[in-house]
Amino acid sequence: MKNIILSFLRLLVAAILFWSFAFCLFILIRYFAIGSEEGIEVTDYSITQILPFGILLGVLIGTLYAVIEFLFDKLLSKNLSLALVLLQKTIIYLIGMVLSLTYVYKKVEVSSLELSLDNSKGWWMEDKVFWLTIGYFLICSIIFSFIKIANERFGKGVLFNQLIGKYKKPREERRIFMFLDLQGSTTIAEQLGHYKYSELIQECFYDLNRVIGDYKAEIYQYVGDEAVISWKFDKGIERNNCVELFYKFQNRLEKKTKYYQKHFGVQPKFKAGLHGGKLIVTEVGTVKKEIAYHGDVINTSARIQGECNTYNKSLLISERLLDKLKLHKYKLESIGNISLKGKEQEVKLFSINKK
């Protein structure tokens, strides 16, 4: 619950700041031409007198926007088509804009500003400025949604780095990788059939996405029934995020045992391998561009996850990464020096278990 509240508060702050800036900019643009607007009488007043109303409108719309986006994202969008989601949001935002602008107009009316603004019943149907504001809102909404989706898809800051060409040339970074794979996937696929199995994977990864943002992680890619998760090194180490995410995900699956048993007849469990270090990050592709990671860290993480079945363990980690963590509430068990496929040097592995 705490993580959900924090997630909403982050969205709320971002939305209020964005819409306050957007509406203040709108007012600033309109300010220089407002005297020529038909039906609006203007006396001498300062731009600083009307900008607070842009902030007020930004707070109202930003709060509405954050609540609606959060509710649809967390509760409703999973089971609704995109077209229906867009239609419902459009109706809600239109009503919200009417109510918010009516409220702001009344505030302007009782202020010291001598602006003649119509706020009578049904005023918005014939008001050209209102429909201009709606058009502006839609443009800004698309921009906000684009930034939000880009951050969710690539990770925070990646879009900006692509815009400035940060990864046009290969760069070295320190990152942590987790290869997360469904246990007994072959048997489950045979039992369920490919369609039902696909629904199971979809549901599992939906649950994974519900918790991943709370631990500052990024989804690098999905490969069949496997998810590759990445952290910037310091963020993965912080509060043991790279380990806590795995058990938070497992806890979420366990809490939905009745659901999975009812719909699929199985209880999904995942295994994972963790490793970290230096690797190369670069932008690849022309028809379809993406950020790619190259280096031993990727291969080693995948190989470590592959050893989970061999030793019947759910979570394995390299000693090099384990030394950076403080896992006092977990039980650690040394697996020993293991010769991983494709590596000349052995890697010392440990299993991580709840006490």
The closest alpha carbon to 249, from 280, 286, 203, 282, belongs to 203
The answer to whether the Cα torsion of 26, 71, 242, 200 is positive or negative is: negative
Tell me, what's the pLDDT at 134? 81
With cut-offs at 50, 70 and 90, classify the pLDDT of residue 2: low
Which band of pLDDT confidence, cut at 50, 70 and 90, is reported for residue 39?
very low
Asked whether residue 9 carries a pLDDT value surpassing 70, the answer given is yes
When the pLDDT of each residue in the chain is averaged and rounded to a whole number, the result is 83
List Cβ neighbours of 167 (8 Å cut-off, separation of 6 or more).
161, 281, 282, 283, 291
Give the DSSP H/E element, type plus range, for residue 9: helix 2-31
What per-residue confidence (pLDDT) applies to 120? 62
State the average pLDDT over residues 17-23. Answer: 90
Residue 256 confidence (pLDDT): 93
User: Sorting pLDDT into bands at 50, 70 and 90, what band is 157?
Assistant: low
The two three-digit tokens of residue 255, written as one number: 């809490």
Bridging pattern class, strands 218-223 and 226-232: antiparallel
Query: If pLDDT is split at 50, 70 and 90, which confidence band does 311 have?
Result: very high
Tell me the mean pLDDT in the region 294-319.
Answer: 93
The confidence score (pLDDT) of residue 110 equals 53
For residue 35, give the 3-state DSSP assignment: helix
- In contact, 355 and 327? CB cutoff 8 Å: no
Give Cα separations from 19 to 54, 57, 62, 104 (angstroms). Answer: 9, 8, 6, 15
Mean per-residue pLDDT, 37-46: 48
Pick left, alpha or beta for residue 222 (phi over 0 → left; psi -120 to 50 → alpha; otherwise beta). beta
Q: Reply yes or no on whether the pLDDT at 122 is more than 70.
A: no
Q: List strand residue ranges (DSSP E) for the chain, in order.
A: 171-182, 218-223, 226-232, 270-284, 290-294, 315-318, 330-338, 347-354
Least confident of 98-112, 157-171, 187-201: 98-112
Longest dimension (CA), the chain: 82
Cα–Cα distance between 89 and 338 in angstroms, integer? 54
Least confident of 110-114, 163-167, 301-305: 110-114
In the chain, pLDDT over 70 holds for what percent of residues? Answer: 82
The domain limits of the chain are 2-151, 168-354
Binned at pLDDT 50, 70 and 90, residue 155 comes out as low
Please give the pLDDT value at position 132: 80
* pLDDT at res. 314: 95
Q: What is the per-residue pLDDT for 130?
A: 74
- What's the pLDDT at 38? 45
21-57 exposure pattern, b = at least 16 Cβ within 10 A, e = fewer: ebbbebbeebbeeeeeeeeeeeeeeeeeebbebbbbb
Phi-psi domain of 293 (left: phi exceeds 0; alpha: psi -120 through 50; beta: other)? beta
Task: Give the closest residue to 325 by CA, choosing from 278, 272, 275, 271.
Answer: 275
Cβ atoms within 10 Å of 135's Cβ, excluding its own: 10
List of long-range contacts for 92-99, beta carbons under 8 Å, 24+ apart? 92/64, 92/68, 93/64, 93/65, 93/68, 93/137, 93/141, 94/134, 96/60, 96/61, 96/64, 97/61, 97/130, 97/133, 97/134, 97/137, 98/124, 98/130
Cβ pair 327, 351 in contact under 8 A? no
Residue 283 pLDDT grade (very low, low, confident, very high; cuts 50, 70, 90):
confident
Please give the backbone phi and psi of residue 287, each rounded to the nearest 5 degrees, phi first: -70, -40
Q: What is the mean pLDDT of residues 325-343?
A: 88
Q: How far apart are CA 17 and CA 245, in angstroms?
A: 30
- pLDDT of 279 strictly over 50: yes
Among the listed ranges 70-84, 175-189, 293-307, which one has the minimum average pLDDT value? Answer: 70-84
User: What are phi and psi for residue 337, nearest 5 degrees?
Assistant: -80, 120
- 352 or 156, which is more confident: 352
**What class has domain 168-354?**
alpha beta
- The dihedral through the CA atoms of 90, 95, 98, 102 has a sign that is negative
Q: List the single range of 84-88, 140-144, 173-177 with lowest mean pLDDT.
A: 84-88
